[in-house]
């Protein structure tokens, strides 16, 4: 028996202003989240981008081709009702931030990590008031609780859409500092992805590329670019 798949039933996707923002309609039917909540977004440009994802669907609906829709659903259904819990989870990455954990050998990898990561560690200390401690090798290091509390407070400045965007920008590279650097305009997602792969790229140079690992890395890169796009669209007035 073939698997049932949702099919396109509408002619056009439209955006209409409502009291709380901008709602997407499929013909005259308001779009709903999987949990049946109205898909209303605060920014018209983001709502139109979501509508474009629906307009681009062919006969069979492909959810994987609608990253903004999926993110909007998550922001409404998951992040909004548990904002503090999501922020707490992301803040925990500051305690084990990728940029704090360095190789102790070989010398070339140590040098590359320092050249790539030190500027962002310095930026975090200066602009975020969050000086991270650095360790080399496998010995864990405890960050100053006041620094972690400072990083956590930065997340309170975000709205649910912003926190949704930040989620992938933090969890995929394993670095709260990289994620905050993207949303604050210090770097873009492409650079954040590159910086997160200093060790992996070094190993590839020595041992060659693995196709499965390459596909997984490309999936992470795409997800980070989509998160950056969500962030930018959600900031437009």
Cα 72 to Cα 41, 55, 59, 177: the distances in Å are 8, 16, 23, 24
pTM of the model: 0.93
Q: What is the per-residue DSSP string for 200-217?
A: HHHHHHHH---HHHHHHH
Longest dimension (CA), the chain: 63
Question: What is the full per-residue pLDDT of the chain (237 aa) written as tens digits?
Answer: 345 468 778 789 999 999 999 999 999 899 999 999 999 999 999 999 999 999 988 888 888 899 999 999 999 999 999 999 999 999 999 999 999 999 999 999 999 999 999 999 999 999 999 999 999 988 899 999 999 999 999 999 999 999 999 999 999 999 999 999 999 999 999 999 999 999 999 999 988 888 898 999 999 999 999 999 999 999 975
Cα distance between residue 71 and residue 47, in whole Å: 12
Kindly list the structural domains of the chain, giving each domain's residue range(s) and its CATH number in brackets, ordered by start.
Answer: 1-65 (3.30.2180.10), 82-235 (1.10.3580.10)
- What DSSP character marks residue 139? -
**Phi and psi dihedrals of 101, rounded to 5?**
-110, 110
Cα distance between residue 140 and residue 29, in whole Å: 54
Q: Give the angle subtended at the CA of 159 by the CAs of 75 and 164, to the nearest 5°.
A: 40
Q: What is the per-residue DSSP string for 4-28?
A: P--B---S-EEEEEETTEEEEEETT
């Amino acid at each position: 028996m073939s698997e049932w798949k949702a099919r396109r039933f509408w002619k056009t996707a439209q955006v209409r202003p409502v009291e709380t923002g901008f709602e997407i309609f499929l013909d005259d039917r308001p779009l709903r989240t999987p949990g049946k909540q109205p898909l209303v977004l605060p920014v018209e440009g983001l709502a139109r981008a979501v509508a474009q994802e629906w307009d681009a669907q062919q006969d069979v609906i492909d959810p994987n081709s609608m990253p903004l829709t999926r993110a909007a659903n998550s922001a409404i259904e998951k992040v909004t009702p548990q904002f503090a819990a999501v922020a707490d989870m992301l803040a925990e990455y500051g305690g084990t931030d990728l940029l704090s954990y360095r190789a102790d050998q070989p010398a070339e990898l140590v040098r590359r990590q320092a050249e790539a990561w030190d500027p962002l560690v310095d930026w975090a200390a200066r602009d975020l008031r969050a000086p991270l401690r650095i360790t080399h090798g496998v010995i864990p290091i405890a960050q100053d609780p006041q620094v972690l509390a400072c990083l956590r407070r930065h997340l309170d400045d975000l709205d649910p859409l912003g926190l949704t965007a930040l989620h992938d920008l933090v969890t995929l590279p394993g670095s709260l500092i990289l994620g905050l650097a993207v949303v604050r305009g210090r770097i873009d997602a492409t650079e954040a992805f590159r910086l997160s792969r200093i060790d992996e790229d070094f190993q590839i140079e020595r041992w060659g590329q693995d196709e499965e690992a390459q596909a997984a890395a490309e999936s992470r890169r795409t997800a980070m670019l989509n998160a950056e796009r969500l962030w930018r669209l959600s900031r437009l007035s």
